[in-house]
Amino acid sequence: MRSYRAPAKVNIFLKITGKRDGYHTLLSRFMLVEELYDTLTFVPKEEPAFAIHGDFSCSVEQNTIYKAYLSLLEATDSDALRALMRSHAVQVEKQIPAFAGLGGGSSDAATYLKMCDEHLGLGLTTDELSKIGSAVGADVPFFIHGFPSANVSGIGEIVEAYDERPLSLQINTPAVEISTPAVYKRFRQEFYKELSTEEAEILAGMDSSDVLEHYDMERANDLFRPAVTLYPQLEKHIQDGWFFSGSGSSFFRLKEPS
């Protein structure tokens, strides 16, 4: 069976727009980082239990790939899917750091869903796969769509392609494992603010290169300051011209011309 790439992403900007059903709503520009990716493959196995082969610190039950399997099974009740996962494991060659704001777990989950749909001929539409993936994580629908650049809003379920030139980015990921729920909690407690409709319209229509030119790290990402207060060791990695992806811990900037 062929291998599938699960690319990373960065958040060019991430702004909180409000609250809905206990979740924060947001507006964010997601951009794929094609050169940084995990590789997923179905490989034969003998034991019938669901198996993931790869360098993961979590249990199988906590893994986003397993959660994607359960969500897909609930949506399709597919005997072929059950049979596939009894006879095959998911082998993952990890390159995207975990807990780093680069969407590795979400990308793995989305790629697994697309692998199953293609291999089993489930015939699911992109919107159907996105709905299934949204039960796993807020970033999964973006990776299901696979747009190089997109405005993502709501609680992650609204994904709109943004037509622009892909940027060549340099990424620095400190060895700091960030808890996204903890960062959102700190934001809610100490930093809560909502993006105005006017600024939302401006950001949604602004090329990513212009955002990086006219915004700084803190203005571009509402989660930056909460993350740093929770994880002060990030302070030593803050540099001019760099930006913060998601809830961290990764920083990125435009690559300098060689």
Q: What is the pLDDT of residues 17-27, one digit of tens each?
A: 998 888 899 99
* Residues 113 and 181 placed together within one structural domain of the fold: no
How does the average pLDDT of the chain come out, rounded?
96
Asked if pLDDT for residue 257 goes beyond 90, the answer is no
Rounded to two decimals, what is the model's pTM?
Answer: 0.95
Q: Which domain holds residue 212?
A: 172-254
Q: Using one digit for the tens of pLDDT, what is the confidence trace for 33-47? A: 999 999 999 999 999
- SS3 label, residue 168: coil
Q: What percent of the chain has pLDDT over 90?
A: 93
Residues 6+ apart with CB under 8 A from 123: 117
Residue type, 233: Q
* Domain end call among 161, 193, 209: 161
Per the structure, how many domains does the chain have? Answer: 2
Q: Does residue 167 lie in a domain region? A: no
* Residues 39 and 139 placed together within one structural domain of the fold: yes
Residue 42 pairs with which residues in a beta bridge? 90
Report whether 251 contacts 239 (CB < 8 A): yes
Length of the chain: 258
* Domain end call among 161, 192, 215: 161
Q: Using one digit for the tens of pLDDT, what is the confidence trace for 195-210? A: 999 999 999 999 999 9
Asked if pLDDT for residue 256 goes beyond 80, the answer is no
More confident position, 98 or 83: 83
- SS3 label, residue 126: helix
CA–CA separation, 229 vs 212, rounded Å? 23
Q: Does residue 166 lie in a domain region? A: no
The verdict on whether 139 is a catalytic residue reads yes
* Residues 156 and 182 placed together within one structural domain of the fold: no
* Domain end call among 139, 161, 183: 161
In degrees and rounded to multiples of 5, residue 189 shows phi and psi of -75, -40
* Residues 48 and 72 placed together within one structural domain of the fold: yes
Select which of 38, 108, 117, 139 is catalytic: 139
pLDDT at 50: 97
The verdict on whether 255 is a catalytic residue reads no
Report whether 40 contacts 136 (CB < 8 A): no
Q: How many CA atoms lie within 13 A of 141 on its CB side?
A: 20
* Residues 147 and 185 placed together within one structural domain of the fold: no
Kindly state the average pLDDT of the residues 122-151. 97
Select which of 9, 15, 67, 114 is catalytic: 9
* Residues 98 and 178 placed together within one structural domain of the fold: no
pLDDT band at 1 (very low <50, low <70, confident <90, very high): confident
